[in-house]
Amino acid sequence: MNFKIRKGSLNDSQEVYNLRFLESDLGNYFNREVVTYKEHQKFWIENYMHYHIALMGVEFAGFYGYVNNDFRYAVVPKYRGQGIGKKLVEDALRKLPYQNNKSNRNE
């Protein structure tokens, strides 16, 4: 199947919500607070432009996003173990802003 990563859109709200609050995964997050879909929609409208969506063919396979110094990513369970999470993190490292602090370099 064809894998790709694209920018998030308003239409991705439901898929991201379903994966982010997947009951079997809640224990894996630092913040385990579950929000309502209505609360998520408000957040999504304000922040979707900071998210990227993974697709296997045309099927939603995961996401990553960076909002308020908080990086999040998740992979749909049936696609785990196929390197998608690694690809999401690698893509994020290329695209997301970071602070380049010379004083922390070992030169």
CB atoms within 10 A of CB 2: 7
**64-106: pLDDT as tens digits:** 999 888 888 999 999 999 999 999 999 999 987 664 444 444 4
pLDDT tens digits, 20-65: 888 877 777 666 677 899 999 999 999 999 999 999 999 999 999 9
β-pair partners for 6 = 53
Residues 92, 94, 5, 28: what is their CA dihedral angle, to the nearest 10 degrees?
-20
Residue 33 confidence (pLDDT): 77
DSSP string computed for 69-102: TEEEEEE-GGGTTSSHHHHHHHHHHHHS-----G
Give the pLDDT confidence score for residue 30 in this predicted structure: 66
Q: What value, to the nearest 5°, has the Cα angle with vertex 91 and ends 65 and 102? A: 90
